[in-house]
């Protein structure tokens, strides 16, 4: 059974001429592809978040001990 949102989308598509339906479906296909890609990146980021936090803590500790220097800001003007 389709969700209410999917049913609404189907009704909207059914109201269009067939040529426009094809165009609309292609746009939705691309949009859904991007949504899935974004979701995959979000999952990947969630898996790496603990490691990124640990790396940031190590970098701050090295800077505090004088073993490293912060990177130059990308917003600095020459």
Tell me the C-alpha to C-alpha distance, in Å, between residue 8 and each of 4, 27, 28, 31, 33: 6, 17, 14, 17, 20
pLDDT in tens, 9-61: 999 999 999 999 999 999 999 999 999 999 999 999 888 888 988 999 998 99
pTM of the model: 0.56
Residues 34 and 76: their CA atoms lie apart, in Å, by: 33
Residues 40 and 47: their CA atoms lie apart, in Å, by: 11
Read off φ and ψ for residue 23, nearest 5 degrees. Answer: -65, -45
């Amino acid at each position: 059974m389709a969700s209410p949102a999917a049913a609404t989308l189907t009704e909207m598509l059914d109201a269009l001429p067939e040529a426009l339906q094809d165009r609309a479906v292609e746009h939705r296909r691309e949009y859904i592809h991007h949504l899935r890609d974004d979701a995959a990146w979000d999952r990947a980021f969630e898996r790496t978040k603990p490691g990124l936090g640990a790396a940031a803590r190590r970098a701050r500790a090295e800077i505090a001990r004088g073993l490293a220097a912060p990177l130059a800001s990308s917003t600095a003007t020459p």
